[in-house]
Chains A and B, each alone.
Chain A
Amino acid sequence: MALLVVASLVLITVYFRESEGGTLHDLQSTGTRILRPFEVAADQVARPFHDLAGWASGLAAAKSENRDLHRQIEELRSRLVHNQTAAQENTRLRALLSYVDGPSFPSGFRGVATTVIARAPSQFDQRITISAGSDQGLKLRDPVVTAEGLVGQVTKLATTAAQVTLVTDETFAVSVLDLATSATGVVRHGRSGSDTLVLDRVTKDQVVTPGDPLVTAGWRYGKLASSFPRGIPFGTVSSVGQIDTDLYKQIQVRALVDVSSLHSVIVLVKKRVIEPGAAAARGAGG
């Protein structure tokens, strides 16, 4: 017993002290590779049951969801015309200004589609393990998305696997922008409940209303920049409150992605941008 406790403590200490390329990290990476077939097999066996449960729960909510979706379609149709006009105007104005933009979503990134192979065994950690790693070009802090919106961020890398911290984790925070009112703030885990997300740091002079769509803000300040590009859909505002003694508004957010039923995700890997000078030098050299 004492031996096992000491072994565990030694593992924790060495793992913490060594670098990402250390012996234990390498061993863990190899172990992940060995475990992967078993994880995939277990997932394949369980998938039909999981899908059946999802189908049954979806069926129960289908009627009300259908009504909501019809209403949303009507709203979106009217917005589409407005947005297409704005997009055309935006393109024309950018061309007039010779506007130089940073990497933007989704054109500045390539997506690495991958499957979820494991989840943290307890609910304390809102993390998943995906079956793509540094061999597939992933880097630390790469954003992870699905078709619906932001899922999380790569926080640990192995050669053929990576750990993703989900948006519902307590350590996760991201700057977001209210598309309807341009109010900005930071979305993080709320202390009041297990799956509540709050939009923090929104001053009282900014306007935020329930239903407003939120996207990542993608800020840049000097050499510091957000890991998330601007424009990744995040969620919608579910409620807004205000207390006289508080500096900021109290805003609750509903994420677009249901992180409890993720099977596959897309990791956004920044495309390499070749500087005009470097390209010219390469051309002269070659």
Chain B
Amino acid sequence: MIDLVKAVVLVLVVAVLQVTVFSTVDILGGVPDVILVVLVCVALLRGPVTGALCGFSAGLVADVATLDTLGVTSLLLVLVAYWVGRYGETLVRERRPRPYLAVVAATVLYAIAALALRAVLGESPSARLVLVDSLFPGIALNLIVALPAFALCRRLLRPPLRDRGGEVELVG
């Protein structure tokens, strides 16, 4: 329970930092999505349910802070975090989860899901902008952010005791 609270507080802080600080960091047309990276880490360390709860909370904060349609970011982050959590559970049996691969997959999935959801809501973002112009720089920046984010998350959210015997090896 304490871990869940710690995880939720962590993603809420990150959500505020994302909308105020990280979203202004525009490098080669890409912006680092620190919420997504931290969520991937939380979902890998704490499983799909905790990941989804954190995704919902972070999305809600982001939508409130930016006056965007409530629920859109929450829905996207819940889906991505749950999928990453399931991926982590599957690969933990093989003891070789690949967090950097998860970050790349989550970034691509998030972009495609965001494009689809916004099209359903009547907005029409350019597929080229979302999937070509900003996606590749975004992946690169997310991978750069992933290293310190994973270190921070592992420090704050230690793996559960039952898993420590065969602790997950983050091999990239």
Chain A positions within 8 Å of B, measured between CB atoms, are 1, 4-5, 7-12, 15-16, 24, 28, 31-32, 35, 38-39, 42-43, 46, 50, 117-125, 127, 129, 156, 158, 161-163, 170-171, 189, 191, 193-195, 260-261
Contacts and interface: CB of A to CB of B under 8 A. Distances in A.
Nearest to B57: A4
A129 B65 CA distance: 8
A4 B56 contact: yes
Interface string B40-64: 0000000011001101100101111
B125 A46 contact: no
9 contacts: A4-B78, A5-B78, A12-B75, A16-B69, A16-B121, A32-B65, A32-B67, A117-B20, A120-B19
A56 to B, nearest CB: 14
B35 A121 contact: yes
A43 B65 CA distance: 13
Contacts of A32: 64-65, 67
A127 B23 CA distance: 11
Contacts of B68: 120, 125, 127, 163
B150 interface: no
B79 interface: yes
A9 B82 contact: no
A46 B20 contact: yes
Nearest to B63: A28
A5 B80 CA distance: 11
The number of chain B residues touching the other chain, given as a range, is 35 or more
Contacts of A35: 16, 61, 64-65
A124 B67 contact: no
Contact of B66 (A43, A46, A121, A195): A121
B124 to A, nearest CB: 7
Smallest CB-CB A-B distances: 10 pairs = A11-B71, A8-B75, A31-B64, A119-B23, A12-B71, A163-B67, A118-B19, A194-B133, A46-B21, A42-B20
B53 to A, nearest CB: 7
B130 A119 contact: no
Given A121-B23, A194-B129, A38 B16 contact: yes
A156 B66 CA distance: 10
Contacts of A10: 71
Contact of B24 (A119, A129, A162, A194): A119
Contacts of B88: none
B33 A122 contact: yes
A12 B75 CA distance: 9
B125 A15 contact: no
Given A15-B70, A28-B70, A161-B67, A119 B125 contact: no
Contacts of A127: 66, 68
Contact of B123 (A28, A123, A158, A171): A171
A84 to B, nearest CB: 39
A260 B62 CA distance: 19
Nearest to A155: B67
B93 to A, nearest CB: 20
Given A42-B20, A121-B35, A5 B69 contact: no
Contacts of B82: 1
Which of B29, B49, B61, B67 neighbours the largest number of chain A CB atoms within 10 Å of its CB? B67
Contacts of B64: 28, 31-32, 35
A5 B114 contact: no
Contacts of A120: 19, 23, 66, 68
B111 to A, nearest CB: 8
Contacts of B118: 124
Nearest to A32: B64
